[in-house]
């Protein structure tokens, strides 16, 4: 119950949704240190609001909060007696085997179970969708991409949102079923027919054995299905980003349906391997589509020095991957006195010509995703998460009232910015209003870092690069793209960068770059020794560069180039990138800091025998081997 003597801090702590009332009324209490001792009575008198209407506004929002809490309690009612969670889709999975109580990422068992069920519903949709025989419904394709994206590590944390998506998926599934009923088999898997009566049945089903990947008949089938499924999650994420910018391909949606439906059937090993390799082809096509979408809309990335310091204005920090959100935020903050900074995987937005015209776009703040508990705290202003990676807020953190999510990202207690209505932009006004009440960011560092070496920019320097290789100035390129993470052994990538010979050049993309992009590694004839192509999907740029170099040197095989691949992985988009490299014929990839837990010994052996994939070793041994082309 709300009392007039309750402090503003107490109100926000017990009822985070009340923050919306204060923002809407342009009250400066959010983020203000005085909230710890100012009561509700104090702020009503201070702002001259009508007491009755103000309290009614709070009561209404808190009533909604109470209903949400009741739902959350129902989510845990059936926990006992159900199957334990099992998740092994990311690199940090417990003991490199699987998380069974709570994810190392922080994901609760209930959330993991609901994400498994959402994937299960997607399989049911796909069974009917693939029977449309080329008549792809783009709305269905978009739903699959959004739903799969939600199940990627560190994207979605709000169980209620996931349940809502499950319900939406069931409606789509049944609509498709009506369209293809004449071509249905007599027996269908449970994911195509299961029909819950209420939310309790949804929660109970999420605990069932048959929605788990572990339901596969043996570990090799489980492994191949997992490799295919996780690759599809990465493909879906990239396809979703392209679709947001108006770029779609029916063959991508069609493959996702084919792949997901295949995991419900007993296929031969050869058939499953063929689908995994096809996923690599589709991954290449999807990254090419996203590259086209980004560069057509915002221009080709340019070599750019990015500021990593701060200014004295209040700021908004935007993280994730969605460049459309970046565009709309910059437009809406123009002339407001609020600066904009990127974080994590949004760093490459600094390289695009379309964004450089905004003087209030300051630069990049902080490092990779796993530092956000400290960096979001010290930023002082609002934070927008457009996609992953979003990690749980610690007890000592105080930035929940400054955290906004949008798109597929969500988090309990964070304010969610609604999707854009067709023909209109998202509304970031609440973020901007809050930013104006906040202090300027606390400085973490100063200086500049350089990036923007996408395929168009590097190929413009092709003659210079080729001459450097022919003259012996550049002996070898080392592709160190991929993900960063908390695993202690990831210091390996920093040490490799520091100890590679001075005549080597590192090609990178994704947040793996943060392990070495601030090191002073020098240049070779004006060519920086770290060439950052951009976000994780810009690994496509690195592949294009390699293929163009192969052509320029008149080689028959990409593996004849002086290039080694030392890849860091963390989540499922990295799996899509890996499959793309395998499809392109790249061999000898080092993968770390551990090999995926979802690879069974036999499946791992196939990858080793066919593609010479290997785990990372010691820094000294790996550098020596790479310099010999091994």
Per-residue pLDDT averaged across 503-525, rounded? 97
pLDDT at 395 over 70: yes
pLDDT at 545 over 90: yes
Per-residue pLDDT averaged across 444-461, rounded? 96
Q: For 455-627, CATH number?
A: 3.40.50.2030
Structure tokens at 588: 């000898």
Per-residue pLDDT averaged across 618-626, rounded? 98
Which pLDDT belongs to residue 285? 98
pLDDT at 67 over 80: no
pLDDT at 93 over 70: yes
Task: Determine which of 4-18, 153-167, 355-369, 573-587 has the lowest per-residue pLDDT on average.
Answer: 4-18
Per-residue pLDDT averaged across 319-334, rounded? 98
pLDDT band at 579 (very low <50, low <70, confident <90, very high): very high
Per-residue pLDDT averaged across 593-602, rounded? 96
Backbone angles phi, psi at 449, to 5 degrees: -125, 160
pLDDT at 370 over 90: yes
Alpha-carbon dihedral sign for residues 493, 495, 497, 503: negative
pTM across the whole model? 0.89
Report how far Cα 87 is from the mean position of its chain's Cα atoms.
17
pLDDT at 134 over 80: no
C-alpha–C-alpha distance, residues 485 and 91, integer Å: 8
For domain 304-417+427-435, give its CATH number from 1.25.40.10, 3.40.50.2030, 3.30.710.10, 3.30.750.24.
Answer: 3.40.50.2030
pLDDT at 537 over 70: yes
pLDDT at 66 over 80: no
C-alpha–C-alpha distance, residues 496 and 525, integer Å: 22
Which pLDDT belongs to residue 183? 67
Percent of the chain surpassing pLDDT 90: 82
- For residue 294, give every residue at least 6 positions away whose Cβ sits within 8 Å of its Cβ, in sequence order, or none: 245, 323, 352
8 A C-beta contact, residue 484 and residue 503: no
Dump the DSSP string for 587-630.
---EEESS--TT--HHHHHHHHHHH--EE---HHHHHHHHHTT-
Per-residue pLDDT averaged across 374-393, rounded? 97
pLDDT at 380 over 50: yes
Per-residue pLDDT averaged across 2-16, rounded? 80
pLDDT at 571 over 60: yes
pLDDT at 327 over 90: yes
Which architecture does CATH list for 94-297? Up-down Bundle (1.20)
* Intervals of CATH 3.40.50.2030 along the chain: 304-417+427-435, 455-627
Which pLDDT belongs to residue 78? 41
Per-residue pLDDT averaged across 164-168, rounded? 98
* Intervals of CATH 1.20.1270.20 along the chain: 94-297
Structure tokens at 91: 């690199």
Which pLDDT belongs to residue 79? 41
Which pLDDT belongs to residue 69? 56
Which pLDDT belongs to residue 75? 45
Mean pLDDT of the chain: 93
């Amino acid at each position: 119950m709300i009392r007039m003597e309750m402090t503003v801090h107490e109100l926000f702590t017990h009822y985070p949704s009340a923050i919306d009332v204060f923002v809407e009324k342009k009250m400066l209490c959010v983020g203000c240190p005085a909230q710890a001792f100012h009561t509700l009575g104090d702020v009503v008198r201070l702002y001259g609001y009508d007491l009755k209407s103000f309290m009614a506004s709070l009561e209404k929002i808190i009533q909604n909060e109470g209903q949400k809490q009741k739902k959350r309690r129902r989510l845990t009612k059936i926990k006992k007696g159900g199957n334990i969670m099992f998740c092994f889709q990311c690199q940090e999975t417990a003991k490199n085997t699987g998380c069974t109580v709570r994810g190392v990422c922080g994901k609760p068992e209930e959330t993991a179970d609901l994400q498994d069920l959402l994937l299960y519903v997607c399989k049911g949709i796909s069974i009917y969708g693939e029977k449309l025989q080329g008549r792809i419904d783009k709305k269905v394709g978009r739903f699959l991409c959004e739903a799969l994206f939600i199940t990627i590590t560190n994207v979605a944390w709000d169980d209620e949102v996931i349940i809502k998506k499950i319900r939406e998926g069931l409606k789509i599934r049944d609509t498709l079923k009506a369209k293809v009923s004449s071509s249905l088999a007599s027996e269908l898997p449970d994911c195509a027919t299961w029909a819950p009566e209420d939310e309790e049945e949804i929660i109970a089903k999420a605990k069932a054995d048959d929605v788990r990947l572990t339901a596969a008949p043996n570990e090799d089938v489980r492994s191949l299905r997992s490799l295919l499924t996780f690759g599809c999650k990465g493909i879906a994420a990239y396809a979703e980003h392209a679709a947001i910018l108006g770029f779609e391909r029916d063959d991508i949606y069609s493959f996702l349906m084919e792949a997901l439906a295949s995991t419900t059937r007993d296929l031969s090993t050869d058939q499953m391997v063929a689908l995994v390799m096809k996923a690599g082809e589709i991954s290449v096509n999807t990254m090419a589509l996203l590259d086209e979408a980004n560069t057509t809309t915002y221009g080709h990335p340019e070599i750019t020095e990015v500021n990593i310091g701060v200014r004295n204005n209040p700021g908004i920090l935007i993280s994730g991957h969605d460049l459309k959100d970046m565009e709309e935020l910059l437009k809406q903050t123009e002339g407001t006195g609020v600066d904009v900074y990127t974080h994590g995987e949004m760093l490459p937005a600094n390289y695009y010509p379309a964004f450089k015209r905004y003087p209030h776009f300051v630069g990049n703040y902080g490092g990779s995703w796993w530092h956000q508990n400290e960096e979001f705290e010290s930023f002082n202003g609002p934070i927008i998460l457009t996609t992953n990676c979003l990690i749980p807020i610690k007890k000592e953190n105080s930035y929940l009232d400054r955290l906004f999510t949008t798109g597929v990202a969500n988090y309990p207690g964070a304010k969610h910015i609604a999707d854009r209505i067709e023909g209109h932009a998202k509304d970031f006004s609440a973020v901007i209003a809050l930013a104006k009440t906040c202090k300027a960011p606390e400085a973490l560092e100063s200086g500049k870092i350089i990036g923007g070496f996408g395929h168009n920019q590097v190929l413009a320097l092709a003659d210079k690069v080729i001459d450097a290789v022919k003259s012996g100035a550049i002996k070898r390129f080392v592709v160190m793209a991929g993900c960063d993470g908390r695993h202690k052994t990831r210091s390996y990538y920093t040490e490799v960068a520091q100890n590679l010979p001075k005549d080597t050049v590192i090609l990178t993309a994704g947040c793996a770059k943060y392990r070495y992009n601030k090191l002073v590694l020098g240049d070779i004839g004006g060519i920086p020794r770290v060439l950052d192509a951009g976000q994780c999907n810009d690994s496509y740029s690195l592949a294009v560069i390699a293929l163009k170099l192969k052509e320029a040197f008149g080689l028959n095989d990409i593996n004849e180039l002086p290039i080694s691949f030392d890849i860091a992985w963390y989540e499922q988009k990295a799996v899509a990138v890996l499959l793309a490299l395998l499809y392109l014929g790249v061999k000898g990839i080092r993968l770390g800091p551990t090999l995926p837990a979802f690879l069974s010994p036999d499946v791992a052996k196939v990858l080793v025998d066919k593609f010479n994939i290997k785990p990372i070793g010691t820094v000294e041994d790996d550098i020596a081997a790479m310099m010999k082309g091994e």
